[in-house]
Amino acid sequence: MRDLGSVCLRCQFRLLVTSRTRVRLGITSYSTYNTAPHEAQPYDERWDTRSMAAFGQASDNGAVTAAPTPLPAQSCTSATRRTSAVNMFQSIVERQNRASDAQGGTGADPGVASIDLMKDVAKIQAMLERDGDGLDAAYSFFEGTVYPQIIRAGVPQVVKNQVGSTLFNNLAVAKAKRFESTQLPSVTRITKIMLELNVLRPVVWATLILELIQHICRQSPSPNDYASIEEYEAAIARRNAFLRDLVGAWNVFAEQSSSANRDPAEPTEQGERQSISPRTGATNKPQRRPTLWQVFGAMFPKYPLPTLFRPTWAAYATYRLLIDPFNRTRSIEQEAAPFFRMMKTLIFQSRPPRPSDFSALLEAFPDIRYMQSRKYGKDRGTTFLAPVSIPQNPSHHLRATVHRQLGNAISSRNLEALKKAWVDFWGVAATPDESHVKELVKHPELFDYFILAYMTLRRPELAVDVWNSMERIGIKPTVKTWNSMLQGCAKAGNADGIRTVWHKLIASGTQLDIAIWTARIHGFFASRDPDAGLRALDEMVKVWAARGEPANKCIAVQPTAEPVNAVLAGLIRLGRESDARHVLLWASKQGIEPDIYTFNTLLRPLLRRGDMAAIEALFETMRSANISADVTTFTLILEGTLTDISHLGPPEQVALIKHILTEMKSAGIEANMQTYAKILHLLLRQGGDQANEPVKAVLAHIWRRGLELTSHIYTMLAEHYFSRDPPDAAAVTALIENRRLHDNKDIDRVFWERVIKGYCQAGETERALAIFDRVFVSGTNITFSTLYDLLKAVIKHDDGTHAAAATRIVEAARKIGMADEERTGDGPSAVAPPTTHAERKRLFKHRFWHLAQQHGLLGEQLGVLLASR
């Protein structure tokens, strides 16, 4: 019977019958370590009684009942004994099946286990008794063989308990020592299966959670502990993976509580909130607010209250870890939402915790005390005991989704993506149902954004459709709606469209504001009609002067610095600095006071020229006007300061950057992501790998503030790795995988195109094709330059297996080249196409087509089409 361990099947069944009797009598073993089937299973003091005693609490309702010793095992080694044991077990199984049928039962009987399943459970026990990789092998065997049987068929809880005690308690112990292991399941997976098998022991599970929190706290966030940018990035990514695992485990556990899904501020069925008494069920009279432990116990009544002491503080420790911005943004807001809902209920209904509540916890898990002190500061471990606030989770999902979809559609000029976003937002019906209308009217600004997007893509008729749709459900267009139309014309470079929209706006009788005048003036400069912009500013002043006339009642707005700044910025971009000075003098005569944006606009060309005397005079004027610098000012100064710091050593560069960022903070200004991107661009542009230290310092500054890297910054890092000699494609791959960029919807096509080009240059054609197939084949816009590089790499490295890949690339190019014809037929369009014959002709003259034609990839139809262009 060696294949089944040290005990025969008959003896195992006797043990299971004895264990099942103990379960019926309420005698439950909480052993953590695996025990042989023929041994008594004592109460595990290391994981349960001892840990609870550390908190001065009793375990399992204060009583521990000794497990009765099972009948002694008898050695069964002969083939006859083995056969008779199997026959006996089979007869018992058949009798149980007949009894189930007699009771009218259908399907699998949860009290019956198959012989194969019993054998497999015994194999797990045998594997666990092996040295070395026995636990890893046992878990792999469980996932592949045992788990499908348990989920598919009803089996006795005693069998599930056997698996829990022999395998998953061991996994919990091992995982706490090997969080980095890829052979062991994640904490989330352990939690999920423990709950499915109904073998989760709160003290054991909470100890694993607390060990994971400690492990996260031990991950150093200091860039000084890592030799390179990619090592630091990989370390932060590992930390984030552990945070996601922690949040995932809590989300699975929280599903057991219905109260975790209800807002504690909502009234109960009786119409008022009621305090929760500690497991008594009494809610009649007011009483002292319960403790966290008591409320947690009421949320999870299936577990004995004494066993929930440690899980309560594990939940609180997790919460303290996640509310730190350094960690919370890493764990992704949406993933942590169920846990924060649970904590919102817990904190709302309980009294604030006291320092004495944590003494035993922090003694047993000392790293948790210092969870926040490891971030560059001195010992701030006492912040764990600081008062907590109820986490706020406003619903920004719809707004964020629409902004992302429209932003991507505008940047890629993808009309079909924009149409899809509108269908997702509005629906397919001409008029949405009442419930959906109630949701839509909460977001009038999103209608304005759709109007802006359609005007940007030169589809005014679709913008009008959006306008009519919002009116149909009772949303009245405002001056902001008109502003969106003007901004869309500006983005499209459509000066005539600006004039048309302005005339309609005046005819509508809408009360104008400073923003709409500024949008009109800026739009003319953006459309390369600066003289029209100057005339619009002059008109604004004249209308204000004649504001008493009835015709000017709604359109007269007092001129301020905003429209003047729009003119100054436009003139300076066009290189007309002398005209900008004249406008500035004119504005002064009109009594228009400058603001910080005015000075920033004037500062930019001075820094570019390095005119220190003029810069100092400008700052003196700012001080005399009592105007303080803002984040843009400091960004411009950073650009001027960091333009050439190659003569400084890494420590001096780090010190300089920290000094400027500190000065910003002391002035009450926090650097934004554009500032960080500018710094990183300047450092990487001139320093290369010599900029490792200052780049890591900037990344650390971003992480400490709990901010996410932007697509632009990821693009710069990828380009930096590819610029090495030889190109470091492995570092880019690690960046994509560690940061899970394939799942990050904010990563734009520019990043993926740069990565494809870099992989092609590094000879990683397969990786380039994988990204092309994942990101671009579905219809996302891609430039012909990138298609050319990819097709060239495929042809160069063709080993006879890439013919299909070359076909996909050419097909993507065909869709882009034919977008104009497809759009006129209202068919699918990958991009907003060139609108003139000259532009279409220039498109089909791209060298991509000649490369494809040279290698016979066009086919007859495309060949004829190319010749006709």
Instruction: Say which residues have a Cβ less than 8 Å from residue 71's Cβ, sequence separation at least 6.
Output: 11, 14, 15, 18
Nearest to 426 by CA among 489, 375, 469, 368: 469
pTM: predicted TM-score of the whole model, two decimal places: 0.62
Nearest to 241 by CA among 183, 181, 194, 169: 181
Q: Which residues of 567-590 are buried (b: 16+ CB within 10 A; e: fewer)?
A: bbbbbbeeeeeebbeebbebbeee
Fill in the DSSP letter of residue 167. I
Burial of 770 (0-12, 13-18, 19+ CB in 10 A): middle
pLDDT of residue 18: 46
Nearest to 30 by CA among 12, 13, 49: 49
Q: Chain-wide mean pLDDT for the chain?
A: 76
Helix or strand or coil: residue 699?
Answer: helix
Backbone Cα Rg of the chain: 34
Q: How far apart, in whole angstroms, are the C-alpha atoms of residue 320 and residue 372?
A: 9
Q: How far apart, in whole angstroms, are the C-alpha atoms of residue 196 and residue 190?
A: 10
CA dihedral 136, 137, 140, 142 (to 10 degrees): -110
Is the bond leading into 394 cis (omega within 30 degrees of zero)? no
Low-confidence ranges of the chain (pLDDT < 70): 1-113, 131-132, 153-154, 258-287, 326, 328-332, 369-397, 687-689, 778-779, 798-802, 817-844, 859-869
Helix/strand/coil percentages in the chain, nearest 5: 65, 0, 35
Instruction: List alpha helices for 668-728, DSSP H.
Output: 673-687, 692-704, 711-722
Query: ∠ CA(338), CA(343), CA(346), 5° rounding?
Result: 135
pLDDT of residue 8: 52
468 alpha-carbon distance from chain centroid:
35
pLDDT of residue 259: 52
657 CB-side CA count, 13 A: 28
424 alpha-carbon distance from chain centroid:
21
527 within 8 A of 489, measured Cβ to Cβ: yes
Nearest to 491 by CA among 529, 526, 465, 467: 526
Burial of 759 (0-12, 13-18, 19+ CB in 10 A): buried
Helix or strand or coil: residue 803?
Answer: helix
